[in-house]
Structure 1
Amino acid sequence: MATRTSGTARTTRAGRAAKAPGTTGTAFGARDHARAQEGARADAMPIVPAPDGMLWAETVAGGGYTHKALARGTELRLTDPTGNACAHLLLFVDGRPWERLNTADTAKVQWNAYLGAGHLLLSDQGRVLASLIADTSGRHDLLCGTSTAVRNRARYGDGSPQGSSPAGRELFKLAAAKHGLAPRDLPPSLSLFQGVSVEPDGAVEFIGSAGPGTAVTLRAEQPLTVLLANVPHPLDPRPAYTCGPLEVRARAGAATGPGDPLWDTTPEGRRAFLNTAEHLTARGIA
């Protein structure tokens, strides 16, 4: 059977139509277009494979989210290159998601609502999920949680995850679903790189960023599922939806053990590490 060509379309012997190269009106054209993108880079995307022995390398755009399961001992470094990122973070024990970040216990057990290097992120089981081993920002928030669809619709006109001003909780729902978690599994999150302070009268004041180029490094003290939503802080007073990129890098490392200065920084921290070690040893992990 002869092949007839008319304009930019051609009919094959099997009777299938395909557009000329460079068009995407058919499966053939779409396939060729997609394959031509191999090696292309965007400003915000995962890097696969991760370079230089890393386990995870990604840039998350403002209004975006990401997630990953990480082994115990992994060091997770988050960087705010522009001073406008706000990394809302949730942690779950991988495979046991009912043990998860508890922001209230993280503050009250350590007698401190202001996170910084040397602080621990705790579960409601009195165990350490992650330790904060380096911090050049000092502007964080354990109190306010992330943004919601209702608040974002009222403030920006849209809070949907596919819209122009996604809410953090809506993005967390998407990230959680990738790990078999439902909305009811999502506790209050903490925020990194955009801080608040508590005034003497109890009012919470937004103090914002420490500026561009700051970074935080967390060490996983148990196997973790990490969820990140990069969206404006709910108390950010700027009228426009403002959020810069977030750089994510992770490397293999070793969990904190006896003899590490962090283990004995405070009596409360030492007890939390002992609780964690006892639990992991019983499960054959430590």
Structure 2
Amino acid sequence: MTLKTIDYTTTLPGASHWSLEVRRGTAMRLTDTSGAGNLGMLFYNPRNLLERYNAPDTLKCQHTFKLTAGHCLYSDMGRIFASITDDTFGWHDTVCANSNAQHIAERWGARDYQTERNDWKQNGFDAFLVELAKYGLGRADLAANLNWFSKVQTDAAGAIALDQSINQPEAAVTLRFEMDTLVVMHSCPHPLDSSAQYPRAPIKIELGEAEQINSDDLCLNARPENARGFANNALYHIGV
């Protein structure tokens, strides 16, 4: 499923952050233009900021370790923030969380705005905090986040590693928002990134009108739990 319309387009540079409120019925297409990107993302209910994205429920109710087309992104109230309607990458991470200042310093050297200015080495944890502060939120409001365009895998001993052999320029994923959602994002490195140089990969973002849900919708029918999630949304919207 593609965007019915494209009403706004922007590019988030590498090592940057952004947030916006997205209305129900909006589609958002994310594109990793270079093939080396990572986009951290969190969701909150703008009408009740205590409701936010829940990674464990998202994975366990859909019997999956990865995220791709057909999966829904759940809140901690059992509702669906957004559905993944299209995906050319095929595997997105929601278990490895964020890079932080220590990760960045150990791999690429300590960040220093005074000497590096806008080329400083931002990390995902602090990037999220900057955006959350705009809405009166802070450290206690951080949850396990999505990492779009990052595939992680485990070995026989259970150790998790980022698969950096994948390089798919113009890989794209499309989200259909099922409720009004505060979207908070950053384009900082994945916490398991071992690149020799600090990565600065941009992400293209397109916003427009989503196509209407039909009875044969992929996300609605992918799991019985998803049908219940959509029912929870319908009940919620009666009272909104």
**TM-score of the pair, normalised by structure 2:** 0.89
1:75/1:253 contact within 8 Å kept: yes
- 1:181 counterpart = 2:181: no
Partner Cα distance (2:129, 2:184) in 1 = 10
Partner Cα distance (2:46, 2:100) in 1 = 25
Q: 189, 214, 235: which one pairs with 2:171?
A: 214
AA of the residue aligned to 1:280: H
Partner Cα distance (1:55, 1:200) in 2 = 46
Q: Which runs of 5+ in 2 are unaligned?
A: none
Q: 215, 228, 241: which one pairs with 2:185?
A: 228
Determine the structure 2 residue equivalent to 1:23.
none
Secondary structure at the residue paired with 1:225? Answer: strand
- 1:71 counterpart = 2:28: no
AA of the residue aligned to 1:56: Y
Identity percentage of aligned residues: 32
Partner Cα distance (1:227, 1:136) in 2 = 22
* Worse-superposed segment, 255-264 or 101-110: 255-264
> 1:175 Cα deviation (Å)?
1.2
> 1:261 Cα deviation (Å)?
4.2
Secondary structure at the residue paired with 2:20? Answer: strand
- 1:193 counterpart = 2:149: yes
RMSD across aligned positions (CA): 2.1
1:158/1:164 contact within 8 Å kept: no
Over 3 Å counting, the alpha-carbon distance change for 1:221 and 1:156 in structure 2 is same
Partner Cα distance (2:144, 2:223) in 1 = 25
Higher relative contact order structure (alpha carbons within 8 Å, sequence separation ≥ 6): 2
Partner Cα distance (1:272, 1:120) in 2 = 9
Residues 66-215 of structure 1: pairs in structure 2 closer than 5 A: 66-159=18-111, 164-208=120-164, 209-215=166-172
> 1:74 Cα deviation (Å)?
0.5
Secondary structure at the residue paired with 2:137? Answer: coil
AA of the residue aligned to 1:84: A
AA of the residue aligned to 2:174: T
Over 3 Å counting, the alpha-carbon distance change for 1:205 and 1:66 in structure 2 is same
Over 3 Å counting, the alpha-carbon distance change for 1:122 and 1:152 in structure 2 is same
AA of the residue aligned to 1:94: P
- 1:60 counterpart = 2:12: yes
After superposition, give the CA deviation of every residue in 1:135-176 in whole Å (9 maximum; x if it has no partner). Answer: 001131111011011221222223578662110111111111
1:72/1:254 contact within 8 Å kept: no
Partner Cα distance (1:261, 1:246) in 2 = 25
- Asked which structure has the greater CA Rg, the reply is 1
Partner Cα distance (1:140, 1:248) in 2 = 17
Over 3 Å counting, the alpha-carbon distance change for 1:261 and 1:114 in structure 2 is closer
Determine the structure 2 residue equivalent to 1:269.
226
Partner Cα distance (2:174, 2:85) in 1 = 6
Secondary structure at the residue paired with 1:169? Answer: helix
Partner Cα distance (1:181, 1:158) in 2 = 26
> 1:58 Cα deviation (Å)?
1.3
Partner Cα distance (2:45, 2:77) in 1 = 11
* Worse-superposed segment, 223-232 or 209-218: 209-218
Q: Which runs of 5+ in 1 are unaligned?
A: 1-52
Partner Cα distance (2:186, 2:59) in 1 = 21
After superposition, give the CA deviation of every residue in 1:88-139 in whole Å (9 maximum; x if it has no partner). Answer: 1111112211111111111111110111100011111111111000000113
**How many residues are matched?**
232
